[in-house]
């Protein structure tokens, strides 16, 4: 109970800190870059609920992210819906897609599941490319409504992302400590044994894919307002899929803090590299770091820190 209370305090502190940061009048670029890092905290945490806790590696992260973004675009085009509605709707639609891929786990395990999610991403991108209402292949320009909170859209979106990141991490934290988390861990170790020990594996997997999908959609929903111009190849960018997988792997997949560490470190490194060296260097950094970690520290940074203490 003490720990739960402490967690709540930390969450509140982070949100208040975010609002305070947003009221500071520093260079807007910092909010712009901070948004991306926070967005990756959400994406990595969401990926990890399925990939880390349940052991089902999703290569189609970009599909869920983009679906959130395109749901938002549709609602903006059709109803000029406000931001909270966009975020909720983006989450729900992607959550539904998550539920769908959850049923795939009945027949597809391991690498075959991963291939299916990758294929899903390609199929969805093709569909969006041919849907003119949301811009089709040439993309769509989104006009931000005037006079937002904090006097500026970038500052507002930054604050919103702080809130979403805290929410995502809290969800992961709760799952990890609950009987659901322990059940997912059992099925990651051995699905057959888990089922025979009374764990309702299908229901837990559906839960994991749905929550994971929901959070990925949530991360993608503010994207149109952030970039103001969305086209399929940016929303379905492979970066999301690669980062979503690399960040938890680098941080450590077994705890909620792993994806956060990975996202902050790798996300920041990418932002710095984009400014100082070249924007093309991003994926190279991810690739090299990922290979290094897979070989040298398969349990990520969390594993490195824990090892000296034994276990």
Of 34, 38, 15, nearest to 26 (Cα)?
34
Paired tokens of 177: 């400590």
Q: Check: CB of residue 53 under 8 Å from CB of residue 226.
A: no
Options 56-64, 72-80, 187-195, 205-213: segment touching other proteins (CB under 8 A)? 187-195
Alpha-helical regions (H) of 80-152: 83-104, 110-129
By the rule CB under 8 A, 103 interacts with other proteins: no
Q: Is 193 in the site for other proteins (CB under 8 A)?
A: yes
Burial class (CB in 10 A: 0-12, 13-18, 19+), 237: middle
According to CB under 8 A, which one of 122, 196, 272, 288 is a site residue for other proteins? 196
Q: Which of residues 252-281 bind other proteins (CB under 8 A)?
A: 254
Upper half-sphere CA count for residue 89 (Cβ side, 13 Å): 16
Of the residues 18, 52, 95, 183, which one makes contact with other proteins according to CB under 8 A:
183
Residue 106 engages other proteins in binding (rule: CB under 8 A): no
Q: How many CB atoms lie within 10 A of CB 6?
A: 10
130 binds other proteins (CB under 8 A): no
d(CA 112, CA 165): 30
Of 161 and 184, which has the nearer Cβ to other proteins? 184
Contacting range for other proteins; rule: CB under 8 A; set: 86-94, 129-137, 167-175, 181-189: 181-189
Interaction residues for other proteins, span 199-228 (CB under 8 A): 199-202
Is residue 179 near other proteins by the rule CB under 8 A?
yes
Q: Would you count residue 194 as binding other proteins (CB under 8 A)?
A: yes
Total residue count of the chain as it appears in this document: 311
Q: Look up residue 40 and give its two tokens.
A: 């990756």
Taking CB under 8 A as the criterion, the residue among 11, 185, 231, 301 binding other proteins is 185
Binding site for other proteins (CB under 8 A): 179, 182-183, 185-186, 188-190, 192-202, 254, 311
């Amino acid at each position: 109970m003490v720990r739960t209370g402490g967690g709540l305090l930390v969450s509140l502190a982070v949100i208040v800190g975010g609002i305070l940061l947003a009221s500071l009048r520093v260079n807007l670029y910092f909010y712009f870059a901070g948004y991306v890092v926070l967005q990756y905290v959400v994406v990595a945490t969401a990926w990890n609920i399925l990939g880390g806790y349940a052991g089902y590696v999703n290569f189609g992260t970009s599909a869920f992210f983009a679906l959130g973004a395109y749901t938002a675009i549709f609602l903006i085009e059709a109803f000029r819906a406000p931001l909270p509605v966009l975020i909720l709707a983006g989450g729900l639609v992607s959550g539904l897609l998550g539920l769908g891929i959850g049923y795939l786990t009945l027949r597809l395990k391991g690498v075959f599941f991963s291939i299916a999610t990758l294929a899903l991403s390609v199929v969805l991108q093709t569909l969006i490319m041919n849907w003119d209402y949301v811009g089709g292949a040439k993309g769509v320009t989104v006009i931000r409504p005037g006079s937002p909170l904090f006097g500026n859209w970038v500052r507002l979106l930054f604050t919103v992302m702080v809130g979403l990141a805290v929410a995502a991490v809290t969800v992961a934290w709760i799952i990890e400590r609950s009987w659901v988390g322990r059940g997912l861990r059992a099925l990651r170790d051995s699905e057959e044994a888990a089922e025979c020990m009374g764990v309702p594996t299908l229901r837990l997997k559906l839960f994991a894919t749905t929550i994971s999908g929901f959070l990925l959609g949530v991360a993608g929903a503010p994207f149109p307002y952030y970039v103001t111009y969305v086209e399929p190849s940016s929303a379905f960018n492979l970066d999301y899929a690669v980062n979503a997988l690399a960040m938890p792997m680098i941080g450590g997949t077994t705890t909620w803090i792993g994806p956060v560490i990975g996202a902050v470190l790798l996300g920041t490194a990418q932002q710095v590299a984009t400014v100082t060296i070249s924007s093309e260097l991003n994926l190279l950094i991810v690739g090299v770091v990922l290979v290094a970690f897979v070989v040298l520290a398969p349990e990520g940074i969390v594993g490195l820190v824990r090892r000296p203490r034994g276990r």
